[in-house]
Structure 1
Amino acid sequence: MIGEIGYFGDARLARNGALLLERMHQRQTVCIRKLTEGRAEQVRFLRFLSNKEVTVEEMISHRALLAGVAAVGRHVLAIQDTSEVNYQAQRRRKHSLGTVGNGTDVGLFIHPVLAVDADNGECLGLVDAQIWRRTTGKAANYKELPIECKESNRWLKGADRAKAVLADAALITVVDDREADIYEKWDRLPDQHTHLLTRACRNRSLGDGRKLFETLASFDEVHRFELDLTARPGKKRIARKATIAVRFGPLTIRRPKSCSDRQASPEIDLFAIEAREIDPPPGQTPIIWRLLTTHRLDSLEKAVTVIGWYRRRWDIEQLFRTLKQQGLRLEQSVLEDGNALEKLAAIALITAAITMQLVAARSAAQQAAPASRVFSSQQLIVIAALLSTRQGRTAKQRNPFPPNSLAAAAWIIARLGGWTGYQSDKSNGPITMRDGLERFYAIADGYHLAAQHLCSS
């Protein structure tokens, strides 16, 4: 069952929030009109979103508790990234918003932290999310300000909150991209329980006087592997099978002049990996990942494992796809107030994370996760009834997962969304899951209406 979204000190508010979350999950939209059964419910939901007692922090922290419980005893990847929600097309109808990345369009920013099991890829849910509106420009002395006064502090804050939520995990690895290559983060966050894995952004100065990128390129090549790259038309990247050369080794980075914390360590010991594409097709920019980590890389096996953890960063990209244009379409919401849009974005993030749990549920190592984590007992009856209608005659088209598992339910939902059931058919991601959920809940509603009619006749 989807469950509560927060307490808010008011049982009525908690019920309305839980109902709004459940409807959003069932109907896979953020449109308030489509989420309600009539005018009265529409008013209830709008009042919930405009109530000052309802906060983004309460909703996110409440859901994070569930991820924290699921993470006990595991090695967890806390994957974080930032995305913007652009409302420029509705600018005249919106108020109390800020500007987004281009400095002119109106919208807001979201920065979630998604928990993923490092060993089997199971999505455990959100452990944090920061949502804000950029209403002021950069200060004239921005570079001299302490990191706590900068928007980039979100990377430290997200990782810090993940450490608190995942305190009972066996190990935490915070995974992020180039924007998070911040010296203060390397200095403050790692401990025996928490490691960092970040794609390098800056060609940092090293303890021996050399530069990071040149030093990485000078390491001996120790391994090659093939990587399937999908096409990215906007970036003019064609789909291809890339050959990747791997180098790795230890190094020491120096505190840069731009570091705002003069008390930070003058040097930090890290390990680094370069994964570079060999002989890309003509006109194509080669893939180059320069990764910095606090994990000790004492073998090729460990280095390849760390590269695999970094590749799981794609999960948060999938989360954004599920949240925005190809999924819940958050950027199309007609809500006018910026404060209400922040709360709607928080509920949409929670919904998208639940969908991601279904997308990842069929990994072989996580078949024991129960379907009751997402579906009610009545909905599980419908899932069981649908099984025989979705399975084919051959072994390749039969549901291979244990009954009542989340993996088995996800298999059926994906089939409802148009997936063929063959492992070779890769069209079974979040968009397929969204379509399957819409169809499933329509079937479930019809089933329960028919059952009620039979009982009353």
Structure 2
Amino acid sequence: MAIRFTSSTVQVPIHLQQKGADYPPLSCTLIHVVEVTPLVGQAPIEWFLVTNISTTNADEAAEKVAWYVQRWKIERFHYILKNGCEVEKLQEHHADRLQKLILFYSIIALQIQHLTYRSREQPEAPATEVISENEWQVLYRIAYRTKTVPQQPATLKEVVLALAKLGGFLGRKSDGDPGTKVIWKGLRRFRDVYESYYYLM
């Protein structure tokens, strides 16, 4: 990626000046990022980023680009919070209660997102990092409708696939990796079943 940047001052628009708006001029930096060696047959990635955070050298410009790269993870977090946890459907009438619920679901959303990306980056990591051996055995039996479980230790990828299967993931070759939504749906379903299983034992 080639990175260029320049600093400038944005003046207050004339229509706001005429209204007497008390806005000061805004000092900002424009960062231009372009892919130098794009994949064959694909257009190069190109971004124009604007920031009001001081940027005086190439390292600082690269830092702002690295921040922007995290945008997709932030969007996925809000997607889980909105579509998975359905926080917009919360009907609390008091702001403090609503705030606590959103915080609670935010923790859940972060855990699901962490599980999703971790399973892609380190699929062979031991499942015991996120689930107990007993939970894994119950999850496997439910997801694959069997009374037997594999003898070898479970991996993180296997846990995610089992959860996704409970959430409606078909696992076809064209489906790719399971997304956060099916993992959340599977996890919610599994927790309900496991709680009942635990008390029946």
Q: TM-score, normalised by structure 2?
A: 0.65
**Structure 1 residue 359 corresponds to structure 2 residue 116:** yes
The equivalent residue for 1:443 is 193
The equivalent residue for 1:323 is 81
Residue 223 of structure 1 aligns with an amino acid whose one-letter code is T
Residue 222 of structure 1 aligns with an amino acid whose one-letter code is V
Q: Give, in whole Å, the separation in 1 of the partners of 2:22 and 2:113.
A: 41
The equivalent residue for 1:379 is 135
**Structure 1 residue 407 corresponds to structure 2 residue 157:** yes
**Structure 1 residue 243 corresponds to structure 2 residue 42:** yes
Contact map agreement 1:417 1:436 (CA 8 A) in 2: yes
Cα shift at 1:377: 4.9
Contact map agreement 1:354 1:374 (CA 8 A) in 2: no
1:293 to 48, 52, 62: 62
The equivalent residue for 1:287 is none
Q: Deviations over 1:168-201 (max 9, x none)?
A: xxxxxxxxxxxxxx86xxxxxxxxxxxxxxxxxx
Q: Deviations over 1:395-449 (max 9, x none)?
A: xxxx9xx733332211100111111223421472121112211221233233223
The equivalent residue for 1:68 is none
1:341 to 98, 121, 128: 98
Contact map agreement 1:362 1:411 (CA 8 A) in 2: no
Residue 320 of structure 1 aligns with an amino acid whose one-letter code is H
Cα shift at 1:293: 0.9
Pairing of 1:11-410 with structure 2 (within 5 A): 141=22, 143=24, 204=30, 222-225=36-39, 243-245=42-44, 268-270=56-58, 292-294=61-63, 311-324=69-82, 326-368=83-125, 370-386=126-142, 388-389=144-145, 403-410=153-160
Cα distance change on mapping 1:142 and 1:340 into 2, 3 Å: farther
Q: Secondary structure at the match of 1:424?
A: helix
Q: Secondary structure at the match of 2:139?
A: helix
Cα shift at 1:353: 0.8
Cα distance change on mapping 1:310 and 1:410 into 2, 3 Å: same
Q: Percent identity?
A: 25
Residue 379 of structure 1 aligns with an amino acid whose one-letter code is E
- The structure richer in helix per residue is 2
Q: Give, in whole Å, the separation in 1 of the partners of 2:63 and 2:75.
A: 24
Cα shift at 1:360: 2.0
RMSD: 4.0
The equivalent residue for 2:9 is none
Q: Secondary structure at the match of 1:245?
A: coil
The equivalent residue for 1:417 is 167
Residue 56 of structure 2 aligns with an amino acid whose one-letter code is I
Contact map agreement 1:223 1:246 (CA 8 A) in 2: no
Q: Secondary structure at the match of 2:57?
A: strand
The equivalent residue for 2:8 is none
Q: Deviations over 1:303-323 (max 9, x none)?
A: xxx88x955532221110110
Contact map agreement 1:319 1:353 (CA 8 A) in 2: yes
Q: TM-score, normalised by structure 1?
A: 0.32
Cα shift at 1:143: 4.0
Cα distance change on mapping 1:246 and 1:316 into 2, 3 Å: closer
- The structure richer in strand per residue is 1
Q: Give, in whole Å, the separation in 1 of the partners of 2:191 and 2:128.
A: 15
Contact map agreement 2:87 2:102 (CA 8 A) in 1: yes
Cα distance change on mapping 1:377 and 1:245 into 2, 3 Å: closer
Unaligned runs of 5+ in 2: 1-20
Q: Give, in whole Å, the separation in 2 of the partners of 1:141 and 1:313.
A: 32
Q: Give, in whole Å, the separation in 2 of the partners of 1:442 and 1:245.
A: 46
